[in-house]
Amino acid sequence: MKISTIFQNKRFIKISVIFIWILIWQLIYKAVGKEILIVSPFDMFMNLYEKLFKADFWITCFYSVSRILKGYFLGIFLGVITAFISYKAKWFYYFVYPFFSVIKSTPVASFIILALVWIKTDNVPVFIVFIMVMPIVWTNIYEGLIKTDKELIETAFIFEFNIFKKLKYIYIPNLIPYISAACTVSAGLAWKSGIAAEVISSPKISIGSAIYDSKVYLETLELFTWTFTVIIISIILEKIIVYLIKKIFERNLKNNDRT
pLDDT tens digit string along 126-183? 999 999 999 999 999 888 888 766 666 666 555 556 566 666 666 677 777 888 888 8
Average pLDDT over residues 194-203: 90
Q: What is the structure's pLDDT at 250?
A: 66
Q: What is the structure's pLDDT at 166?
A: 66
Sequence letter at residue 47? N
**Other Cβ atoms within 10 Å of 63 Cβ, number:** 19
Q: Which tens digit of pLDDT belongs to each residue from 65-124?
A: 999 999 999 999 999 899 989 988 889 999 999 988 888 888 888 888 888 888 888 889
Whether the predicted pLDDT of 218 surpasses 90: no
Indicate the pLDDT class of residue 240, thresholds 50, 70 and 90: confident
Q: Which tens digit of pLDDT belongs to each residue from 4-28?
A: 555 556 777 778 888 899 899 989 9
Q: What is the structure's pLDDT at 118?
A: 86
- Share in percent of the chain as helix, strand, coil (round to 5): 85, 0, 15
Are 133 and 125 in contact, with CB atoms under 8 Å apart? Answer: no
Contacts of 60 (CB under 8 A, 6+ apart): 205, 206, 207, 210
For the chain, what is the radius of gyration of the CA atoms? 23
Are 187 and 72 in contact, with CB atoms under 8 Å apart? Answer: yes
Q: What is the structure's pLDDT at 2?
A: 52
Are 128 and 193 in contact, with CB atoms under 8 Å apart? Answer: yes
Higher-confidence residue of 48 and 246: namely 48
Higher-confidence residue of 255 and 64: namely 64
Average pLDDT over residues 184-199: 89
Homologous superfamily assigned to 41-258 = MetI-like (1.10.3720.10)
Q: What is the structure's pLDDT at 235?
A: 87
* Burial class of residue 74 (count of CB atoms within 10 Å of its CB; 0-12, 13-18, 19+): middle
Percent of the residues in the chain that have a pLDDT greater than 70, as a whole number = 83
Q: Which tens digit of pLDDT belongs to each residue from 24-73?
A: 998 999 888 888 888 999 999 999 999 999 999 999 999 999 999 999 99
The DSSP output letter for 53 is T
pTM for the whole structure: 0.83
Average pLDDT over residues 216-235: 90
Sign of CA dihedral 87, 181, 79, 159: positive
Closest C-alpha among 187, 183, 233 to residue 211: 233
